Amino acid sequence: MPGSLSRPRFPFRLVAVAVLTLVAAGASWWYMRPGPAIDCNRMPPLAILATLAAFLIAIVFRHMARYPERAHRWFLTVWLFVAAATLFADFRYVRRYRVICRSLQQQFQQFKSQ
């Protein structure tokens, strides 16, 4: 089989970045799934997953410099967009419900002190 038609082999580090990005995106989706009520206990894990997504974006940029092959760069670009979408979605979710959860906590503390 000619070399130009064969599928490119991806190094372990690139596959590891893809797996970690998929896990972070899947966990974010799991925490943001709709429920019967707002669960304020989902905020800290989503903040951690947003931080992980930002870290993965940095790793992807680092690998872009290390792997100059075109196939590797396209592979990394896809996972860069997945990590960026995860970061954006986590941020929006936490920002949207932060005020509601904070007011619920204050009401609960006032009720508890009475």
Q: How far is CA 74 from the centre of its chain?
A: 19
72: helix, strand or coil: helix
* 4 — pLDDT class (breaks 50, 70, 90): low
pLDDT value of residue 45: 92
Q: What is the pLDDT of residues 47-61, one digit of tens each?
A: 999 999 999 999 999
d(CA 78, CA 84): 10
Share the mean pLDDT of the chain. Answer: 88
8 compared with 76, residue with greater pLDDT: 76
Q: Residue 20: name the closest of 72, 105, 86 by CA.
A: 86
Q: What is the pTM of this model?
A: 0.81
Q: What is the DSSP string of 28-54?
A: HHHHHS--SS--GGGHHHHHHHHHHHH
Q: Which domains does the chain have, with CATH numbers?
A: 12-113 (1.20.58)
pLDDT value of residue 55: 97
pLDDT value of residue 104: 78
- Could you count the other beta carbons within 10 Å of the beta carbon of residue 51? 13
